[in-house]
C-alpha cells in the first residue's frame, strides 16, 4: 500500500513580499519552490529540508526591531485539525552586523509569533537566511494535501 501525503507551503502568491516606508523595510524572498511531497513510508519517518529556502531582508532606521514568524493559516483534509505543526525555520546565516538575540535553533512554527531575531537600528538592509524543515509527520496525518501560510512580522518598541 502506498501512502501519499502532500504538504505545500503557501507563503503568498508572489515570490517576494515586502512592507516599507522611508525608515522601515521587511522583505521575504522565497528562493525556491516551497513544497514537500511524502509519497513513500520513509518520507513520513524522516525530516525533509529545503536548503536556502527563505531570505528575510530587514532595515530599521530609527528603532531596534524584532522579527517574528507564525503560521497564520493551516488547511488540511476535511475534518482534520491539529495543534501540532510539522514546520520549522532553521537559521543558517546573516550578513548583519546589527543582529542580536538570533534564534540559531530550528524554530517550530505555531499559530503564535515565534521570535527569529532582533536587530539594532541601521540605515543598511541586512539579509537573514533560513532553511525550511518538514519534521517527520509520522502516520497520524491523514492522506491529503496540507497548506500552511507563514506570516513574518516586524515590530518596534
Q: To the nearest 5 percent, what fractions of the chain are helix, strand and coil?
A: 5, 55, 45
Q: Using alpha carbons, list the distances in angstroms from residue 68 to 11, 112, 141.
A: 15, 9, 27
For residue range 6-37, list pLDDT tens digits in order.
Answer: 444 444 434 444 456 768 889 999 999 999 99
> For the chain, what is the mean pLDDT?
86
For residue range 137-155, list pLDDT tens digits in order.
Answer: 888 888 889 899 999 999 9
Count of structural domains within the chain: 1
Helix (H, G, I), strand (E, B) or coil at 41: helix
Q: Which structural domain, as residue segments, surrounds residue 103?
A: 5-155
Which position has the higher pLDDT, 4 or 70?
Answer: 70
* Domain CATH number, residue 25: 2.60.40
Amino acid at each position: 500500500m502506498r501512502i501519499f501525503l502532500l504538504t505545500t507551503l503557501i507563503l503568498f502568491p508572489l515570490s517576494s513580499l515586502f512592507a516599507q516606508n522611508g525608515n522601515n523595510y521587511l522583505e521575504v524572498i522565497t528562493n525556491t519552490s516551497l513544497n514537500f511531497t511524502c509519497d513513500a513510508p520513509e518520507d513520513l519517518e524522516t525530516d525533509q529540508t529545503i536548503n536556502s529556502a527563505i531570505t528575510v531582508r530587514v532595515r530599521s532606521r530609527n528603532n531596534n526591531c524584532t522579527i517574528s514568524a507564525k503560521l497564520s493559516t493551516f488547511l488540511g483534509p476535511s475534518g482534520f485539525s491539529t495543534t501540532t505543526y510539522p514546520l520549522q525555520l532553521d537559521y543558517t546565516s546573516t550578513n548583519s552586523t546589527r543582529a542580536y538575540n538570533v534564534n540559531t535553533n530550528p524554530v517550530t512554527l505555531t499559530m503564535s509569533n515565534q521570535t527569529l531575531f532582533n536587530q539594532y537600528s541601521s540605515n543598511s538592509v541586512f539579509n537573514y537566511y533560513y532553511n525550511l524543515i518538514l519534521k517527520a509527520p509520522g502516520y497520524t496525518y491523514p492522506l491529503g494535501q496540507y497548506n500552511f501560510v507563514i506570516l513574518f512580522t516586524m515590530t518596534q518598541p
